Amino acid sequence: MMFFRRAKKYNMPKQAAVDVLKNVLEASNVETPNINFDWLLLKGLAQTNLVDFCKWIAIGFLFLALVSPVALMNADLKVDRAGIAPEKIIIEDYSLYDDHFTLKLIGDDIDYEGIYAKTANGRMIVPSSFDRGTGEVTFPYTHEGLTIYISDEHGHTLNATLSAYEK
């Protein structure tokens, strides 16, 4: 974006400007205000500086809003809820065992038949069991990372990532 400025600034003595302003107001049958011309100039200058100050404040807040997710990351988080996650699908609890991984889900209209997971190399894994009453879903676990896709009947999907860490 380019900003254009006048190449030539015109200067006028203050008293001449006050006289011209009074003549214009009198010619248009408007009562001459009792405001000092210096006060009008100062007020205009203050508004210009205030606008510039507010612009920089807004840019600063925008920068903080963009940087804050990076600054507030939690390195200890094991299950990452990424993607479009409606409020109706919630992972209430999860447990990792030697041979399987269990999720406990809360939500309305969860499509239990549509739940699946993918490994890092793209292999698809379906749950070995699920219970609609308790909301528990069990996946076989082969000690590798999984991305689990949980959908509801309305097409919303929750993506949960299980990372495998070696101790």
Tokens of 70: 């990076």
The pLDDT assigned to 25 comes to: 75
Same domain, 108 and 44: no
Question: How would DSSP label each residue in 65-123?
Answer: HHHHHHHT--TT--EEEES---TT-EEEEEEE-SSEEEEEEE-SSB-GGG-EEEETT--
Give the C-alpha separation, 131 to 68, whole Å.
Answer: 39
User: Does a structural domain hold residue 4?
Assistant: no
Q: What is the number of domains present in the chain?
A: 2
Same domain, 145 and 107: yes
Give the C-alpha separation, 107 to 100, whole Å.
Answer: 22
User: Does a structural domain hold residue 42?
Assistant: yes
Give the C-alpha separation, 152 to 112, whole Å.
Answer: 8
Same domain, 141 and 103: yes
CATH of the domain at 131: 2.60.40
Same domain, 99 and 145: yes
Same domain, 85 and 157: yes
Confidence band of 84 (pLDDT split at 50, 70, 90): very low
Domain containing 140 equals: 79-162
Report the SS3 class of residue 156.
coil
Same domain, 106 and 156: yes
Q: What is the mean pLDDT of the chain?
A: 76
Same domain, 94 and 119: yes
Same domain, 43 and 92: no
This prediction's pTM? 0.46
User: Does a structural domain hold residue 118?
Assistant: yes
For the segment 122-149, what is each residue's pLDDT rounded down to a tens digit?
889 899 999 988 889 998 887 788 888 9
Confidence band of 65 (pLDDT split at 50, 70, 90): confident
Total Cβ atoms within 10 A of residue 164:
13
Give the side-chain half-sphere CA count within 13 A for 14: 7
Same domain, 126 and 91: yes
